[in-house]
Chains A and B, each alone.
Chain A
Amino acid sequence: MLSDGVEDEEKWLAEGIAGFQQNAFCMHRALLLPLLILPGSPLLINVLSIPLQQKPQDSNNLRDALKYSAQMLSELRTSRLSPHKYYELYMRSFDELRRLEMFFKEETKRGCSIVDLYELVQHAGNILPRLYLLCTVGSVYIKSKEAPAKDVLKDLVEMCRGVQHPVRGLFLRSYLSQISRDKLPDIGSEYEGDVGTVMDAVEFVLQNFTEMNKLWVRMQHQGPAREKEKREKERSELRDLVGKNLHVLSQVEGVDLEMYKETVLPRVLEQVVNCKDELAQYYLMDCIIQVFPDEYHLQTLETLLGACPQLQSSVDIKTVLSQLMERLSNYASSSSEVLPEFLQVEAFSKLSGAIGKVIEAQPEMPVVGAISLYVSLLTFTLRVHPDRLDYVDQVLGACVKKLSGKAKAEDSKATKQVVALLSAPLEKYNDIVTALKLTNYPRVMDHLDHVTNKVMAVVIIQSIMKNNTYITTANRVEALFELIKGLIKDMDGTPIEELDEEDFKEEQNSVARLIHMLVNEDHEEMMKIITTVRRHILQGGPKRLPFTIPPLIFSALKLVRGLQGQEGDGVGEEGPVTSKKIFQLLHQTIETLSSVSSPELALRLFLQCAEAANDCDLEPVAYEFFTQAFILYEEEVADSKAQVTAIHLIIGTLQRMTVFGVENRDTLTHKATGYSAKLLKKPDQCRAVYACSHLFWVDEQDGIKDGERVLLCLKRALRIANAAQQMANVMRGSGGPVTLFVEILNKYLYFFEKGNPHITSNIIQGLIELIATEMQSDSSTHDPLADAFLASTMRYIQFQKQKGGLMGEKYEPIKV
């Protein structure tokens, strides 16, 4: 059906054009136009083929011209064409009428009276061609200045009332607008005078506009209801014809702020409101905003906004308001000098009031609509009044009201808008501290569904990390954790199981990173911050603690370091912040970790604390931490590989302890060596035991230097290594590599060099020979790495021997 219609239209247009061209052709002939034809004319060839008629100028020409032009213009009387196709005919007419106008001008030069001409064209039979011709003559008339522009224009705009058919009328008036543009009695124009001021120009354009709008609106109600969509599409195609008038008004020099305010805007708005047509209202409001200067909008804000609630409820007023706010935002950004103006006209309160009214007036407006309005207002506020946090908070507060009572997580579009709303202040201020001052910010976040709430929390954290913002008071930390609580703990009704493991890790790791941004150099404040953070993260549950506790521990250890700098000699034992108090806190905190199946991590953290306590000279505290570490080792660390690492950490830490008295040290050392010997695999045992040898020798000034116990350890290690070799023999039929022996040899050399009296060159020699024997025996396995190790050890010995001095002397007896 539709395609048939299109085909028909094509046919009619073709017919129309054919008729048009025929008459145009005749008209040209009458106008003697071969010399005047403009290049590119499609009729050029036709006319040139006709012999020039050297007729004297007489009225026959004119009359013919008028006759044929009227016939030509009759094609425009059609009702069968859609606006799009009608436009084609119109454009051709426009071109031809320009030629006609030139002809009229020539005629008046040759003595024809313009007044007569003006009257003559009115004899055309049909009204539409008559009026086109009249406007054309009118143009010449005004140019001739024989009558004031004002009078001619007034006459024309009223005569056009004769055409009430929407499409035809619109194009006719559009033609009038086009030809009158440069002839308005504007300020500074040649057509201004005693009769004819800019007021008249404005009046003319306003009238044309009003009539055109009426025609345009009338189109909506023409034809059957089922073709409504088609009509609306056609109307859309014509809208710029109507809007053009506003554009013309904006270009009139004489329309200053005063005139805009008093005359232009009220008249235009009156028409917009009264026409009660959704399409027109939306388009025209948008047009007004786009076409007139922002400065004017600012000064007429109340009037403009006042029209909004009067518009049809189906008009997308949100978009209109958003456009307005965007323009005003850009205007504000353009120069700082305009900002006071915004304050003076109270732009913010007017806009927020208008938005409130619109939302109120449309209770069925979906949430996404209201929120996107607030997003626009917020963007405006952030650009124009960034220092007015109270305004920003107000906007957020209005959103909270709108969101209250609605279910969460229903509308993903609305959610997106809320996220945009919350992200805007973050991006603008680049400083979470400012956002934290907005009391309504957390309230808005509360209205997000869980998933989005967490997404927003991550956005907040990312903003902090990206801007390297430090949060320096416990109060702000509190406020921040309130905002990100969705990440910190389970909110009612959401099990963590829902979340993908990788995502969960990433989430918690970002919380962990965040903790390092919560610092203050003042010890008291830092302590408050630590206790605040602790209080929050302990609500996180077993899955979160392994992520969030370590950074807290290290934060606290840093504070201990900071205190160390100040304390000394037991000063600072009293007061709100002492190392002891912090160690208590550390102890309790790490304990929670061990109860949630992260014993290895807890063990490491206990050892860190032990070292810190050592540095603070707190023997009992350090001992307690070691106790806890050992308990975890005994009871929780079952995996053999983990045990190896854990025991080395214990030995390594213990080796560095200086605070222990003999008894405590002995107890712990005994435990360490005991556990070392009990590791599952022999090589691991061996290595841990010889590592323990270092527990008896500390190379500091007051360090323990128990040479005998060192030797005992090394001997024990040697026995284990032997046993390992034998086992290998039994199991595999050949001995294992001699690596362990070489390692032990290196240790012997170490203590030998340090001056352990119990390790003599003889002992070393003996061990070297033992190794040589092992290597040469048939049953030994040759491992190139072990060989290389031995070789480099031998090289080392050689090197030391050649050193000369004390070292050389020491090594002298050893033969390689």
Chain B
Amino acid sequence: MVLVLALGDLHIPHRAPDLPAKFKSMLVPGKIQHIISPGNLCIKEVHDYLKSLCPDLHITRGEYDEDARYPETKTLTIGQFKLGLCHGHQVIPWGDLDSLAMLQRQLDVDILVTGHTHQFKAYKHEGGVVINPGSATGAYSSITYDVNPSFVLMDIDGLRVVVYVYELIDGEVKVDKIDFKKTATTH
């Protein structure tokens, strides 16, 4: 059981002051093995905070990120899964699943984690799974109205990944889960 936290588009401090308190109290150091973030943190303080939760931190560049050294895309292997990370402002049309599928094929990954739209999505297509953890702070988005703060926790176990999505709706944290299985034969 490997826990991977996926969260992004916090937009601190441009669009939000901080993570919701209820999320902060849930995110405790030492419980998570990896953190992946599509980007738009935006400042070093947020980076340091995430690093304190888990030293294995992977970030790609969002268009508002202070640190220009984050890569545009990143791939990593966790267990049996290849994960790809990209903020998503580079993929036009924004949020278009077919275009994201192309990126997934290009990166050759089982799971593509992306952001930019601030809307949670977990979508399976021929080439794999696309996950958008939404905005962890519920930040304003020109694309999505009424953003609820959300993040994703993936439990990778062998060929199976369980995706837990945590959403803050009307002050309460709601959890949902989706199962994905990888067929053993693939690349």
Residue interface mask B9-46, A partner, CB < 8 A = 1: 00011111110010000000000000000000001110
Which segment of B49-57, B88-96, B148-156, B174-182 sits at the interface?
Answer: B88-96
Asked if B47 lies at the interface with its beta carbon under 8 angstroms from chain A, I say no
A608 interfacial by beta-carbon distance below 8 Å = yes
**A655 contacts B92, CB within 8 Å?**
yes
Rounded to whole Å, the gap between the CB of A599 and the closest CB of chain B is 14
In the bound complex, do residue B63 and residue A604 qualify as a contact, i.e. CB atoms below 8 Å apart?
Answer: yes
Contacts of B12 in A (CB 8 A): 513
CA A512 – CA B106 in complex, angstroms? 38
Task: List A contacts of B108 (CB < 8 A).
Answer: 785, 788-789, 792
Stretch in A189-197, A400-408, A532-540, A551-559 touching the partner: A551-559
State whether B142 touches A612 (Cβ < 8 A): yes
> Contact size class for B?
20 to 34
- Say yes or no: B43 contacts A509, CB within 8 Å: yes
- Known A-B contacts A516-B16, A551-B13, A743-B106; the reply to A652 vs B89 at CB < 8 A is yes
Whether A186 is near chain B, meaning CB under 8 Å from some CB there, is no
Q: Is the CB of A468 within 8 A of B98?
A: no
- Least CB distance from B83 to A in Å reads 15
* B106: chain A residues within 8 A (beta carbon): 739, 742-743, 746, 785, 789
Query: Which chain B residues numbered 113 to 147 have a C-beta less than 8 Å away from chain A?
Result: 126-127, 140, 142-143, 145
* A611-B142, A655-B93, A691-B92 known; A468 vs B21 contact (CB < 8 Å): yes
Q: How far is the CB of B141 from chain A (nearest CB, A)?
A: 10
Chain A 348-374 near chain B by CB (<8 Å), digits 1 or 0: 000000000000000000000000000
Chain A contacts of B98 at CB under 8 A?
A: 750, 753
Query: Do the beta carbons of B127 and A792 come within 8 Å of each other?
Result: yes
CB pair B13–A743 under 8 Å, yes or no, is no
In the complex, B80 has a CB within 8 A of chain A: no
Which of B13, B94, B145 has the most chain A CB atoms closer than 10 A to its own CB? B13
Residues in B whose Cβ lies below 8 Å from that of A694: 92-93
Distance of A604 Cα from B14 Cα, bound (Å): 12
Of A239-247, A334-342, A566-574, A793-801, the stretch lying at the interface with chain B is A793-801
**Would A554 and B102 count as touching, CB distance under 8 A?**
no
B94 to A652, Cβ gap below 8 A?
yes
| A433 in contact (CB, < 8 A) | no
Name the contact of A554 in the complex, choosing from B90, B92, B105, B140 (C-beta under 8 A). Answer: B140
Q: Which stretch (A109-117, A226-234, A643-651) binds chain B?
A: A643-651
Q: Verify if A514 is at the interface (C-beta below 8 Å from B).
A: yes
Interface residues of A in 61-82 (CB under 8 A from B): none
CA distance A742 to B102 in the complex (A): 10
Distance from B22 Cβ to chain A, minimum over Cβ atoms (Å): 12
CB proximity of A153 to chain B, nearest CB, Å: 67
Q: Mark A646-676, 1 if CB is under 8 A from B, else 0.
A: 0011011101100000000000000000000
- A799 partner residues in chain B, CB cutoff 8 A: 126
A580 at the interface (CB under 8 A from B): no
A465 CB contacts on chain B under 8 angstroms: 17-18
Q: Chain A, 696-712, contact with B by CB distance < 8 Å: what is the 0/1 string?
A: 00110000000000000
At the interface, yes or no: B64 with Cβ under 8 Å from chain A?
Answer: yes
Are A554 and B94 touching (Cβ within 8 A)? Answer: no
A508 (CB) vs chain B CBs: closest residue: B13
Return the CB mask of A720-748 against B: 1 if under 8 Å, else 0: 00000000000000000001001100110
Q: Does A634 contact B (CB under 8 A)?
A: no
The interface residues of chain A lying within 8 Å CB-to-CB of B92 are 648, 651-652, 655, 691, 694
Contacts of B140 in A (CB 8 A): 554, 557-558, 561
**B143 / chain A contacts, CB cutoff of 8 Å:** 611, 656
The distance in angstroms between the C-alpha atoms of A135 and B32, with both chains bound, is 78
Would B142 and A608 count as touching, CB distance under 8 A?
yes
Whole-angstrom CA separation of A155 from B121 in the bound complex: 97
CB closest residue in chain B, given A788 = B108
Nearest CB of chain A from residue B40's CB, rounded to whole Å: 11
A321–B102 Cα distance when bound, in Å, is 77
Nearest CB in chain A: distance from B17 CB, A: 4
Most buried by A among B14, B89, B106: B14
- Chain B residues with CB under 8 Å of A551's CB are 13-15
**Pick the contact of A648 from B16, B89, B99, B101 — CB < 8 Å?**
B89
Closest to A512 in B: B13
A550 near B: Cβ within 8 Å?
Answer: yes
- The answer, among B45, B64, B105, B127, for a CB contact under 8 Å with A604, is B64
| Cβ contact within 8 Å between A746 and B142 | no
In chain A between 748 and 793, which residues have their CB closer than 8 angstroms to a CB of chain B? 750, 753, 785, 788-789, 791-793
Pick from B21, B64, B93: contact of A656, CB under 8 Å? B93
Q: Which residues of A contact B18 (CB under 8 A)?
A: 465, 513
Q: Which residue of B lies closest to A796 (CB)?
A: B126
Complex Cα distance A651/B99, Å? 15
| Whole-angstrom CA separation of A789 from B98 in the bound complex | 15
Tell me the minimal C-beta distance from B64 to chain A in angstroms.
Answer: 7
Q: Which of B16, B99, B142 has the most CB of A within 10 A?
A: B142
With a CB–CB cut-off of 8 A, which chain A residues contact B105? 746, 789, 792-793, 796
Does A637 sit within 8 A of B, measured CB to CB?
A: no
Q: Can you list, as one digit per residue, whether each of A78-96 has a CB less than 8 Å from chain B (1) or not (0)?
A: 0000000000000000000
Given A608-B142, A750-B98, A788-B187, also A509-B13 (CB < 8 A): yes
Residue of A nearest to B98 (CB): A750
CA distance A514 to B13 in the complex (A): 9
CA distance A685 to B63 in the complex (A): 19
Residues from chain B with Cβ under 8 Å of A608 in the complex: 142
B64 touching A516 by the CB < 8 A rule? Answer: no
A506: interface (CB < 8 Å): yes
Interfacial chain A residues near B16, Cβ < 8 Å: 516
Contact A513 B13 (CB under 8 A): yes
Q: Which A residue sits closest to B104, measured CB to CB?
A: A792
B60 to chain A, nearest CB (A): 13
How far is B90's CA from A611's CA once the two chains are assembled, in angstroms? 17
Between A550, A651, A791, the greatest number of chain B beta carbons within 10 A of the residue's beta carbon is seen for A550
User: What A residues does B15 contact at CB under 8 A?
Assistant: 516, 550-551, 554
> Is A516 a contact partner of B89 (Cβ separation < 8 A)?
no
* Contacting residues, chain A, for B187 (C-beta < 8 A): 788, 791-792
Task: Determine which of B13, B45, B99, B101 lies in contact with A516 in the assembled complex, contact meaning CB atoms within 8 Å.
Answer: B13
Q: Name A464's closest neighbour in chain B (CB-CB).
A: B17
Report A448-472 CB contacts with B as 1/0, cut-off 8 Å. 0000000000000000010010000
Q: How far is the CA of A798 from the CA of B102 in the complex (A)?
A: 15
- The CA-CA distance from A59 to B142 in the complex, in Å, is 113
Q: How far is the CA of A517 from the CA of B14 in the complex (A)?
A: 12
Q: Nearest chain B CB to A510's CB is how many angstroms away?
A: 8
Q: Give the distance to chain A from B118, nearest Cβ to Cβ, in Å.
A: 12
Kindly identify which residue among A656, A750, A791 contacts B102, using a CB–CB cutoff of 8 Å. A750
- Closest CB in chain B relative to A462 CB, distance in Å: 11
Whole-angstrom CA separation of A512 from B12 in the bound complex: 9
Please name all residues of chain B whose beta carbon is closer than 8 Å to the beta carbon of A698 when the two chains form the complex: 93
A649 contacts which chain B residues (CB < 8 A)?
63, 89
6 more contacts with CB within 8 A, not counting A509-B45, A750-B102, are: A512-B14, A513-B12, A547-B13, A558-B140, A747-B102, A785-B108
A-B contact pairs, 28 of them (CB 8 A): A505-B43, A505-B44, A513-B13, A513-B18, A516-B13, A551-B13, A551-B14, A551-B15, A554-B14, A554-B15, A557-B142, A604-B63, A604-B64, A648-B90, A652-B94, A655-B92, A656-B94, A698-B93, A746-B102, A746-B105, A750-B98, A789-B106, A792-B187, A793-B105, A795-B126, A795-B127, A796-B105, A796-B126
Which 7 residue pairs are nearest across A and B when measured between Cβ atoms?
A: A512-B13, A611-B142, A513-B17, A792-B105, A550-B14, A788-B108, A746-B102
Q: Chain B: residues with CB nearer than 8 A to chain A?
A: 12-18, 21, 43-45, 63-64, 89-90, 92-94, 98-99, 101-102, 105-106, 108, 126-127, 140, 142-143, 145, 187
